Structure 1
Amino acid sequence: MSLGRLLRRASSKASDLLTPGSGGSRAALDGEIIFSKNNVCVHPTEPLPGLAEHHPGYLCVHMEKDEALGTTLILTWVPNSRIQRQDEEALRYITPESSPVRRAPRRRTRHARPPRPAPAPGEEEEGEGEREREGDGDGEGEAEAGEGQSGGPVVQEAGGGGGGGGGGAEDEGSCDLSADEVSRDSTLGSDSDTFSSPFCLSPVSEALGESSGSVFLDNESREMCDESMTHSASSASSLDSHAPCLENSQSQSVRWEEQQKVLALEQLCGVFRVDLGHMRSLRLFFSDEVCTSGQLVIASRESQYKILHFHHGGLDKLAEVFQQWKSCRETQLKEQASDEKTCMQFSIRRPTLPSAETHPEERLYRRLDVSAWLRHLNHCGQVEEEYKLRKAIFFGGIDPAIRGEVWPFLLRYYSCDSTSEEREAWRLQKRAEYQEIQQRRLSMSPEQHNEFWRKVQFTVDKDVVRTDRSNNYFRGDNNPNVETMRCILLNYAVLNPEMGYCQGMSDLVAPLLSEVQDESDTFWCFVGLMQNTIFISSPRDEDMERQLMYLRELLRLMQPRFHQHLTQLGEDGLQLLFCHRWVLLCFKREFPDAEALRMWEACWAHYQTDYFHLFICVAIIVLYGEDVTEQQLATDQMLLHFSNLAMHMSGELVLRKARSLLYQFRLLPRIPCSLHDLCKLCGPGMWDSRYIPAVECCGEHADSQSCPYGGTAGEPSPRPPPTPGEGKKGSKTRDIFNFRLELRF
């Protein structure tokens, strides 16, 4: 029996299970897949030249237990390119660990598999139709679903490689799926005794890893990907002696460039996975009269949206799933006439919103270890889905064993798009530049050296010998690592004479050097820290004042009682003297090294804000500042109170509270214009839209008569106009964008 036949049977069975009043109705199982659909498209918000507008993928919805909702729905979309590369991590998204169809993997012997001949022009559609007829007809015995050692079914392809399926030996349990062999829209049953999802980590997923063909790609795309994945450079002598080989190499080079475009596209359209129970609303726009095709628009509580395009039907089946979910309520649209059905809207009902004490995604991410890090790299060494990596680091941190590998990416020394070979070439180039900088320092004239010693070197020599002496890496007399740290700081002052050196920089360089353990690499990571991040030690008064202004506004918004106490203290209280050291030294004097470095990583991740360190400051005040307001401490007493807390606070508790405060901030429907910069630099991540809350003018502006963000006192600023090109995807898509701009979900 073909896999398509199995899925259609499962679809029929699942439909009975989900239909109220049916004889076979029962409660859904935790992890049960209740909807799946292939060839659901995402249209990149930033089109890339040379790539199609459509980016197809596989979408599924499965059940999970939820404390507030009872059961929630997890929606996942995985691009076909990830499935084609047999990415097991991507497959895990659409078959969770709790799914009843998962099986323990089995070892099997791998057999050689002859390549499938390319179809002649005009034969492709016929071949697909033939496979479909074989799957739907009576000849189900050609490919049986047999029980393996683990009890899971083994699915074999119906009508496999040339010769009507008898062209060569197949791996046991292997499957090479085309788009037509998977049902266009299906709701999958949970009877694991008779059906196994095509994405379980079991015999079938193991077969996916062994199969040489692509999954869910047409023949042309499959050939392109297979050739590009196996592409290797030919020797010059071979190219000169064989002209046909030259043409073939050029063709492979073109296909290799196409694959790189696909990888670049995945940076914009990677895996999309959300808990629908945490969303604000769902809206379905139908583009045909029978209401099967169209767009699904998911709106988060932060008013970000994602559009999934159903070009080949299936949207009506998904609407039925939403109608049967008790936490989803269909709402009537005022603009829609009663005699037409062009749109459906669902609101998510939650008994209570997620607790304000914790971020709803808290504890969902483990520490990034070696195996998890390698899963973020493709075969070229490029980081795939940078946003996902940063999110994992924000919540889970980094294993100390791989900090030296990951930190250069966070500090922008390495580009996430760079390959392993490109990074090695970049290191050699930057090492030569570093040697040139050091040579400039060593070749100073006596007058220049005296001036440099007076302004820079004298202070550096005093600081480095007392920095992180408890760290084994710098412990002991005549430690060469101390001299290396000294050289890095002196060379930085030569590179950036305007910045020079200020006390506290050694506290930032020391952890970098102890983790990266290379002088040149550490130097350039430190340059990236000082240039490309806001979370820095800066001697400039204007930088510090801007940070304190943001912090005062955050306290006024999120901790009004404490802000009122500061206001009563007058100008001295509003200077926030107690937190200057927090910002200048990046909490390194407030927490043990392990906890402080964990905070650094969370800030460097730039997840949802570039100013996460300010939320850490607010979290410290929320957790440990109650005595200040209760006892009405004066400015000097308040400074002493927080100084005495150094090394006595829980860094993990502070981080959890800071993530919660960030979550609450992003749920605010309006923010004062003074805090506009806290979210303007943040990218959309996996969403199609950025986080743009309404902005209120908080008062007069020195350089202009009106608010620079277009707002007036007490009134939100007007909505931004659609970005260029938003109206080119059809009338239904224009309706989606208009809906977003007018109602904000």
Structure 2
Amino acid sequence: MSLGRLLRRASSKASDLLTFNPGAAGAALRSGLDGEIIYSKNNVCVHPAEPLPGMAEHHPGYLCVHVEKDESLGTTLILTWVPNSRIQRQDEEALRYITPENSPVRRNARRRGRRPHSRPPAAQVEEQYEDRNITCSSSTESQGLVAYEAGADPPASAQHKQPPATGEEGDEGSCELSDEVSRDSTMGSDSDTFSSPFCLSPVSEALCESSSSVFLDSDSRELSEELMHHSVSSASSLESNGQSQGARWEEQQKVLALEQLCGVFRVDLGHMRSLRLFFSDEACTSGQLVIASRESQYKILHFHHAGLDKLAEIFQQWKCCRETQLKDQVSDEKSCMQFSIQRSTLPSAESHPEEKLYRKLDVTTWLRHLNQNGQVEEEYKLRKAIFFGGIDPSIRGEVWPFLLHYYSYDSSSQEREAWRLQKRTHYHDVQQRRLSMSPEEHSDFWRKVQFTVDKDVVRTDRSNQFFRGENNPNVEIMRRILLNYAVFNPHMGYCQGMSDLVAPLLTEIQDESDTFWCFVGLMENTIFISSPRDEDMERQLMYLRELLRLMLPDFHQHLTALGEDGLQLLFCHRWILLCFKREFPDTDALRMWEACWAHYQTDYFHLFLCVAIIVLYGEDVTDQQLATDQMLLHFSNLSMHMNGELVLRKARSLLYQFRLLPRIPCSLHDLCKLCGPGMWDSRYIPAVECSGEHPDSQSCPYGGTSTPLPSSPAPSGTPSPSRTPDPSRSGKSRNVFTFRKQS
């Protein structure tokens, strides 16, 4: 019997012992064993939400469900799907997701002897892989029916599709079983206890030591290389004054589409809204599992080779799942099952439900995000980890260039080194252009730029050890970077405050050329750092006013009563222009920068930070009815006296509440427009309600309705919007949102 077939049978036996025993699964759920794996299934597919050129329809992976204890919410279930490509090459991080550290399977694993550390010949490795590769046939299987919550419409690409053709699990299936459990899963002859399938066998250890890597099939690899070529081309556009932001983002979405198919999908089912199972065969074993989040995003997992009925039994035995009857379904037909998630206690509105789940990104965890070529494999997962946990200062110089678009996430180590050399030459050319100015040009440059730069750099961050002391060479480096930037981007030139942004970059990156190009990336990202142009700042303030109207109506009403001066929000101009650097110590301010640069779920997280500051420290403004100048003094006096970690947590909570709203005013339509779906198949798209004020068009450009949409129930503890007249616009009828607490 071949090694591949032996592993497949062992894997099947392991699945039976672990999960396909309803009594055992029920006992695990009732007892709530922390880390207990209660379900596992191989060759569960994800399909592209939309057809992508050069990519296969099937992307099989390994799915498992384990129990996890939560201090505040009790027992919950964690569902994890890991693509076969990650397991075939024994990705340590992926295997950790399949078998969590707290799993009894991992803790009670039977010890086995290790072979001497020797790397097998390449031919031997290829032979070992032969029986374990996936060969998905190009059958007529198509994506199954997609379920959505009431009031949410499915995208056109997912409507009216037939369930996939039925397939039987076995050696003759259209999708052969691969080695996602390519480890020893046999019964020990000297013991009646089960030996974990997640203990590395000698074969797996040899493969783990091998330098071979099976990451993508040939078509996917070609597409990945093509995307890398596009990414490098996009970065080179810096030399021609940059590419438009929309085009860059469109390219990035192509890369993110790969992550949806080749990245790890991991969710806490207790924080989901509903689970739906669609059966495509009479035995009700094959079909699709549709997971819907509270933000109305969905993920479809395709069970082509049975196992879906066993998962349904798990959900039926879980006390947090409540089976509900679907509309238009005949009672004696079992073509679909729907479960609503019922929790005795929902996450507090004061904190994001994923708070404290992510540790600070240190050297070890950073290296886990890189493959053997130095490429970041799952950009979304990395950005999410940075958003919640931040970055250890020791590796900021390594990670920041990615966040600031100096390095492409899918670039290899060799490509980044070549890119650095190319950009170093370009930086030298920019500096030579400045040094070779004619006397007339230099005189004009000194008057418009250099005079102000020379004054600012000598008083920027002088308390920082990196810039402290007389004749500090780092001060001169910062000065050169600012002068060269004014030559590189004469339209922007130099504005007071830019030195406050360059100083931390230089402190952490500690390379003149790299710091310059990271600063270029920061200044091009006009969402986070507002340029001095009036239209950019006004857009930021408009979004902030609308967020305050939505989330803090009492404060907004006070601003309205103060008139135009109050609505100008003068107290927060410095927050936006200098990115909170004058309001918080460097430790806290840089954490906020990283959270904003992560672009997790919104591109305007800095505005949620502004709202968080007002929520936490603005109560005196409304209680004492402070005037505009008094309000400005009040917030100025709070500088360096606010709790940065508390502000960050509150801002994440406000973002979570915002994304739970079933509808938003059209004035806030663009707040999350550029963010990709992450690991989900759909984006966050709330219903839009028209604000009624579009002077240049007869109808709402965002398709918003002019009448209130039917209200939908919000999660317990989550404020819901209501409509009240807008007193700030005399002579005009306008609808606004305010928060009211639900009983």
> TM-score under structure 1 normalisation?
0.78
Residues 187-226 of structure 1 mapped to structure 2, 5 A cutoff: 194-199=193-198, 204-205=199-200, 207=202, 210-212=205-207
User: Does the 8 A contact of 2:11 with 2:197 survive in 1?
Assistant: no
Query: Please, which of 697, 704, 718 is the counterpart of residue 704 of structure 1?
Result: 697
User: Could you tell me which residue of structure 1 aligns to residue 101 of structure 2?
Assistant: 97
The one-letter code matched in structure 2 to 1:54 is: H
* Percentage identity across paired residues of the two chains: 78
2:86 paired with 1:82: yes
Give me the whole-angstrom Cα distance separating, in 1, the residues matched to 2:561 and 2:415.
57
Give me the whole-angstrom Cα distance separating, in 1, the residues matched to 2:278 and 2:29.
29
Secondary structure in 1 aligned to 2:207? coil
- Unaligned 5+ residue runs, structure 1? 129-176, 215-224, 232-251, 718-745
Secondary structure in 2 aligned to 1:77? strand
Secondary structure in 1 aligned to 2:440? helix
Residues 439-518 of structure 1 mapped to structure 2, 5 A cutoff: 439-518=432-511
Query: Please, which of 627, 630, 649 is the counterpart of residue 634 of structure 1?
Result: 627
2:334 paired with 1:341: yes
Give me the whole-angstrom Cα distance separating, in 1, the residues matched to 2:227 and 2:57.
12
User: Could you tell me which residue of structure 1 aligns to residue 14 of structure 2?
Assistant: 7
User: Could you tell me which residue of structure 2 aligns to residue 267 of structure 1?
Assistant: 259
Give me the whole-angstrom Cα distance separating, in 2, the residues matched to 1:118 and 1:483.
56
Give me the whole-angstrom Cα distance separating, in 1, the residues matched to 2:476 and 2:614.
38
Q: CA deviation at 1:107?
A: 7.6
User: Could you tell me which residue of structure 1 aligns to residue 62 of structure 2?
Assistant: 58
Give me the whole-angstrom Cα distance separating, in 1, the residues matched to 2:15 and 2:612.
53
Secondary structure in 2 aligned to 1:298? strand
User: Could you tell me which residue of structure 2 aligns to residue 547 of structure 1?
Assistant: 540
2:128 paired with 1:108: no
2:274 paired with 1:281: yes
- Give the paired residue count: 622
Q: CA deviation at 1:181?
A: 9.9
2:34 paired with 1:17: no
Structure 1 386/313 Cα, relative in aligned 2: closer, same or farther at 3 Å?
Answer: same
Q: CA deviation at 1:258?
A: 8.2
Query: Please, which of 494, 513, 517 is the counterpart of residue 520 of structure 1?
Result: 513
Q: CA deviation at 1:570?
A: 1.0
User: Does the 8 A contact of 1:537 with 1:586 survive in 2?
Assistant: no
- In the TM superposition, what whole-angstrom CA distance separates every residue of 1:426-463 from its partner, at most 9, and x where no partner exists? 11111111111111111111111111111111000000
Give me the whole-angstrom Cα distance separating, in 2, the residues matched to 1:208 and 1:513.
47
Q: CA deviation at 1:259?
A: 8.4
Residues 237-636 of structure 1 mapped to structure 2, 5 A cutoff: 257=222, 266-269=258-261, 270-636=263-629
- In the TM superposition, what whole-angstrom CA distance separates every residue of 1:105-162 from its partner, at most 9, and x where no partner exists? 8883426557559889xx979xx9xxxxxxxxxxxxxxxxxxxxxxxxxxxxxxxxxx
User: Could you tell me which residue of structure 1 aligns to residue 35 of structure 2?
Assistant: 31
User: Could you tell me which residue of structure 2 aligns to residue 165 of structure 1?
Assistant: none
User: Does the 8 A contact of 1:603 with 1:611 survive in 2?
Assistant: yes
Give me the whole-angstrom Cα distance separating, in 2, the residues matched to 1:553 and 1:208.
60
Q: CA deviation at 1:336?
A: 1.3
Give me the whole-angstrom Cα distance separating, in 2, the residues matched to 1:304 and 1:426.
37
Structure 1 8/470 Cα, relative in aligned 2: closer, same or farther at 3 Å?
Answer: closer
Structure 1 69/479 Cα, relative in aligned 2: closer, same or farther at 3 Å?
Answer: closer
User: Could you tell me which residue of structure 2 aligns to residue 49 of structure 1?
Assistant: 53
Give me the whole-angstrom Cα distance separating, in 1, the residues matched to 2:528 and 2:617.
22
Give me the whole-angstrom Cα distance separating, in 2, the residues matched to 1:606 and 1:569.
34
User: Does the 8 A contact of 2:35 with 2:68 survive in 1?
Assistant: yes
Structure 1 180/611 Cα, relative in aligned 2: closer, same or farther at 3 Å?
Answer: closer
Query: Please, which of 640, 643, 646 is the counterpart of residue 647 of structure 1?
Result: 640
User: Could you tell me which residue of structure 1 aligns to residue 3 of structure 2?
Assistant: none
Secondary structure in 1 aligned to 2:104? coil
User: Could you tell me which residue of structure 2 aligns to residue 140 of structure 1?
Assistant: none
Give me the whole-angstrom Cα distance separating, in 1, the residues matched to 2:69 and 2:587.
34
Q: CA deviation at 1:28?
A: 3.8
Give me the whole-angstrom Cα distance separating, in 2, the residues matched to 1:547 and 1:651.
21
The one-letter code matched in structure 2 to 1:570 is: G
Give me the whole-angstrom Cα distance separating, in 1, the residues matched to 2:359 and 2:445.
47
Secondary structure in 1 aligned to 2:516? helix
- In the TM superposition, what whole-angstrom CA distance separates every residue of 1:279-314 from its partner, at most 9, and x where no partner exists? 000111111111111110000000000000000011
- In the TM superposition, what whole-angstrom CA distance separates every residue of 1:153-182 from its partner, at most 9, and x where no partner exists? xxxxxxxxxxxxxxxxxxxxxxxx963896
Give me the whole-angstrom Cα distance separating, in 2, the residues matched to 1:511 and 1:648.
20
Q: CA deviation at 1:8?
A: 5.3
Choose 583-592 or 98-107, whichever is displaced more.
98-107
Give me the whole-angstrom Cα distance separating, in 1, the residues matched to 2:224 and 2:691.
49
User: Does the 8 A contact of 1:306 with 1:688 survive in 2?
Assistant: yes
Give me the whole-angstrom Cα distance separating, in 2, the residues matched to 1:181 and 1:550.
47
Give me the whole-angstrom Cα distance separating, in 2, the residues matched to 1:428 and 1:180.
42
Choose 90-99 or 357-366, whichever is displaced more.
90-99
Structure 1 208/261 Cα, relative in aligned 2: closer, same or farther at 3 Å?
Answer: farther
User: Does the 8 A contact of 1:370 with 1:402 survive in 2?
Assistant: yes
Q: CA deviation at 1:26?
A: 5.8
Secondary structure in 2 aligned to 1:468? coil
Give me the whole-angstrom Cα distance separating, in 2, the residues matched to 1:427 and 1:306.
39
- In the TM superposition, what whole-angstrom CA distance separates every residue of 1:221-271 from its partner, at most 9, and x where no partner exists? xxxx9866699xxxxxxxxxxxxxxxxxxxx99997588699967523210
Q: CA deviation at 1:4?
A: 3.6
Give me the whole-angstrom Cα distance separating, in 2, the residues matched to 1:255 and 1:365.
30
Give me the whole-angstrom Cα distance separating, in 1, the residues matched to 2:218 and 2:79.
37
The one-letter code matched in structure 2 to 1:62 is: H
Give me the whole-angstrom Cα distance separating, in 1, the residues matched to 2:116 and 2:403.
40
User: Does the 8 A contact of 1:555 with 1:562 survive in 2?
Assistant: yes
Q: CA deviation at 1:11?
A: 4.4
Q: CA deviation at 1:51?
A: 2.8
- In the TM superposition, what whole-angstrom CA distance separates every residue of 1:21-45 from its partner, at most 9, and x where no partner exists? xxx9962411111110000001123
Secondary structure in 2 aligned to 1:75? strand
Give me the whole-angstrom Cα distance separating, in 1, the residues matched to 2:601 and 2:413.
28
User: Does the 8 A contact of 1:492 with 1:523 survive in 2?
Assistant: yes
Task: Please say which structure displays the higher CA radius of gyration.
Answer: 1
Q: CA deviation at 1:6?
A: 4.3
Q: CA deviation at 1:95?
A: 1.3
Give me the whole-angstrom Cα distance separating, in 2, the residues matched to 1:700 and 1:287.
48
Secondary structure in 2 aligned to 1:659? helix
Give me the whole-angstrom Cα distance separating, in 2, the residues matched to 1:208 and 1:619.
53
Q: CA deviation at 1:342?
A: 1.3
Give me the whole-angstrom Cα distance separating, in 2, the residues matched to 1:60 and 1:34.
8
User: Does the 8 A contact of 1:69 with 1:327 survive in 2?
Assistant: no
Give me the whole-angstrom Cα distance separating, in 2, the residues matched to 1:43 and 1:566.
50
> TM-score under structure 2 normalisation?
0.79
Structure 1 501/633 Cα, relative in aligned 2: closer, same or farther at 3 Å?
Answer: same
- In the TM superposition, what whole-angstrom CA distance separates every residue of 1:495-536 from its partner, at most 9, and x where no partner exists? 111111100000000000111111111110000001135111
Structure 1 712/618 Cα, relative in aligned 2: closer, same or farther at 3 Å?
Answer: same
Secondary structure in 2 aligned to 1:307? strand
User: Does the 8 A contact of 1:3 with 1:181 survive in 2?
Assistant: no
User: Does the 8 A contact of 2:560 with 2:566 survive in 1?
Assistant: yes
